[in-house]
Amino acid sequence: MLMTGKILRFDEVRGYGFIAPDEGDEDVFMHANDLLEEKYLYQSGRRVEYFLESGDKGPKAGEIRLVRQAAAPASRVLRNSAAAPQTEHDEEADCDILTALDFQNEVTEALIEADGTLTAAQLQHVRQRLLRLAQAHGWVDSV
| Tens-binned pLDDT, residue by residue, of the chain (143 aa) | 899 999 999 998 899 999 999 988 889 999 999 999 988 889 888 999 999 998 888 899 999 999 986 544 444 444 444 444 545 544 445 566 778 888 887 888 888 888 778 787 788 888 888 888 888 777 887 65
Helix, coil or strand: residue 100: helix
Q: What is the DSSP string of 1-58?
A: -EEEEEEEEEETTTTEEEEEESSSSS-EEEEGGGBSS-GGG--TT-EEEEEEEEETTE
State which residues form the domain around 116. 95-143
Q: Is residue 38 part of a domain?
A: yes
Q: Is residue 80 part of a domain?
A: no
Instruction: Show which of 48, 66, 84 is a domain's final residue.
Output: 66
pTM above threshold 0.75 = no
Q: Is residue 136 part of a domain?
A: yes
Q: Is residue 26 part of a domain?
A: yes
Q: Is residue 103 part of a domain?
A: yes
Instruction: Show which of 10, 45, 66 is a domain's final residue.
Output: 66
If one counts every other C-beta atom within 10 angstroms of the C-beta of residue 15, the result is 13
Residue 93 gets which letter from DSSP?
A: S
User: With b meaning 16 or more CB within 10 Å and e meaning fewer, what string describes 56-93?
Assistant: eeebbbeebebeeeeeeeeeeeeeeeeeeeeeeeeeee
Q: Is residue 137 part of a domain?
A: yes
Helix, coil or strand: residue 119: coil
